Amino acid sequence: MIGYLRGQVTHIFLDACFIDVHGVGYRVYASQATLAQLEQGQEAMLYTYMNVREDALQLYGFITEEEYKLFLLLIGVSGIGPKVGLGILSGLSPQAFSLAVANADVKTLVKLPGIGKKSAERLVLELKDKIGTIGQLAADTVSQADVSILAGEQPENEVLAALLSLGYREEEVAPVLASLDMGTGDTAQLLKKALAALGKGK
């Protein structure tokens, strides 16, 4: 089992990145939240999970310990595989997901990719008593941006939450978000555009 990788990020793709560790390039699948914090050409450390299949060995990487621990809980739920787990992490921050589970908020969970009503109910049933074991996932740590996402709403809120989690100030990103056409593209594409406008595009 590879616990973590530390090396230079050489390529960033829509759902993965390459990390060069002493001349060996590892393909690491990651959530949009993790990929948004990587810089091509810069060193990064990712916690990793190795998925062993009959036809492949796949590495999944996470920039925070909270994201890594939540992923392990997610794939322990019946019917939730690594791909769906990454989709969940790309759709909600660990804090927002924790709050949704704690509140049995099935309406929010079914908006996540690959999650139907039965899967959402299963997530609540199996994780409600476990979710509190993840570091800083207490409901009182949920940001206002996370609350906006849980309230329903637009891709703009999801992009705002991602940018705030990267350390940007709301007053700093508001003009950028106002200049983007939020009616086109998914959240990942809009986030990439916003980062580019802020001088951190890939």
- 168: pLDDT strictly greater than 80: no
Q: Does 85 or 154 have the greater pLDDT score?
A: 85
Check if the beta carbon of residue 46 is closer than 8 Å to that of residue 4.
yes
Res. 34: pLDDT tops 50:
yes
Looking at mean pLDDT, say which of 122-126, 158-162, 191-195 comes out highest: 122-126
Query: What average pLDDT does range 129-147 have in this prediction?
Result: 53
Give 111-133 pLDDT, tens digit per residue. Answer: 888 899 999 999 999 998 888 65
**For residue 194, what pLDDT is reported?**
81
Q: Which residue has the higher pLDDT, 36 or 181?
A: 36
- For the chain, where do the domains classified as CATH 1.10.8 start and end? 143-197
Asked if pLDDT for residue 135 goes beyond 50, the answer is: no
Query: What does the pLDDT average to over 95-102?
Result: 86
Phi and psi torsions of 11, nearest 5°: -145, 145
For the entire predicted model, the pTM comes to 0.67
- Rounded distance, CA 156 to CA 159, Å? 5
Which segments of the chain belong to CATH 2.40.50.140? 4-62
**Given pLDDT bands bounded at 50, 70 and 90, which one contains residue 25?**
very high
Q: Which residue shows structure tokens 């390039």?
A: 25
pLDDT at residue 161 greater than cutoff 80: no
Q: Is a pLDDT exceeding 70 seen at residue 182?
A: no
pLDDT at 17 over 90: yes
Residue 59 has pLDDT above 80, yes or no: yes
CA distance readout (Å), 25 to 11, 41, 53, 83, 166: 10, 13, 20, 21, 26
Q: Is 8 helix (H, G, I), strand (E, B) or coil?
A: strand
> ∠77-69-145 over CA atoms, to 5°?
95
CATH domain 4-62 topology: OB fold (Dihydrolipoamide Acetyltransferase, E2P) (2.40.50)
Give, in words, the CATH class of 65-133: mainly alpha
Identify whether the C-beta of residue 182 lies closer than 8 Å to the C-beta of residue 190: yes
- Please state the rounded mean pLDDT for residues 74-103: 89
Q: Which CATH class is domain 143-197?
A: mainly alpha
| Span(s) in the chain for CATH 1.10.150.20 | 65-133
